[in-house]
């Protein structure tokens, strides 16, 4: 039987950096659709990138990351450096993401593990398949969640405008948010759904 949604999903930095995707995927994780995972390296990347992009004080960003750790205490995959061994075909800049997924596999060998990233091209599909890891972009994961957890997706879509609202700005339509986040296939399904 093909795994539709892996039980554990490593959220790459490029996914976590989007307020909409981070809050949306963590919303789905809180509903039990999957378990989020990351590593200290992903956390460090997120903190550096968020502080630079958002021009926010580093202490505030660090506090946000600590809050994520408290909300999802099992998400940190621990020491991952040995899990980079043997990787060859994927982009070396992303070996740490694959290593986090492999660490999750080692900790729970009977559980399906995947990675969600916007940088699909940096991950060699045959290498991922050989390792038994599922590779998804955010659009694919949301479509799978829509299929398996339609009520949770409905609740997410109702919350999405608040997740995307910038301080002092009006709420945007769900369709505009999804288009801006490059979730074109998911947006098309949402527009077609009653």
Give 25-62 pLDDT, tens digit per residue. 999 999 999 999 999 999 999 999 999 988 889 899 99
Tens-digit pLDDT profile for residues 118-146: 999 999 999 999 999 999 999 999 999 99
In a domain, 163, yes or no: yes
Q: What is the largest CA-CA distance in the chain?
A: 49
Domain coverage including residue 127: 8-192
Cβ neighbours, 10 Å, residue 131:
18
Dist. CA 115–CA 100, nearest whole Å: 9
**Threshold 0.85, pTM exceeds:** yes
3 falls within a domain: no
Q: Is residue 2 part of a domain?
A: no
Domain count, the chain: 1
Closest CA to 23 of 83, 76, 58, 67: 67
CATH classification of the domain holding 88: 3.40.50.1010
Question: Whole-number mean pLDDT of the chain?
Answer: 93
Instruction: For residue 1, tell me if it sits in a domain.
Output: no
pLDDT tens-digit profile of 148-181? Answer: 999 999 999 999 998 888 777 888 999 999 999 9
């Amino acid at each position: 039987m093909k795994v539709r949604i892996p039980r554990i999903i490593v959220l790459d930095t490029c996914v976590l950096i989007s307020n909409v995707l981070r809050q949306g995927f963590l919303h789905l994780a809180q509903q039990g659709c999957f378990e989020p995972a990351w590593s200290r390296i992903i956390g460090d990347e997120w903190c550096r990138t968020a502080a630079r992009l958002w021009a926010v004080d580093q202490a505030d960003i660090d506090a946000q990351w600590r809050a994520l750790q408290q909300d999802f205490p099992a998400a940190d995959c621990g020491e991952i450096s040995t899990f980079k061994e043997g990787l060859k075909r994927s982009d070396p800049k992303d070996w740490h993401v694959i290593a986090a997924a492999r660490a999750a596999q080692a900790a729970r060998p009977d559980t399906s593990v995947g990675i969600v990233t916007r940088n699909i091209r940096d991950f060699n599909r045959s290498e991922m398949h050989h390792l038994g890891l599922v590779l998804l972009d955010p659009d694919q994961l949301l479509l799978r969640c829509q299929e398996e957890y339609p009520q949770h997706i409905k609740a997410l879509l109702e919350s999405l405008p608040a997740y995307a609202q910038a301080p002092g700005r009006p709420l945007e339509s769900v369709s505009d948010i999804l288009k801006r986040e490059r979730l074109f296939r998911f947006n098309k399904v949402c527009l077609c759904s009653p």
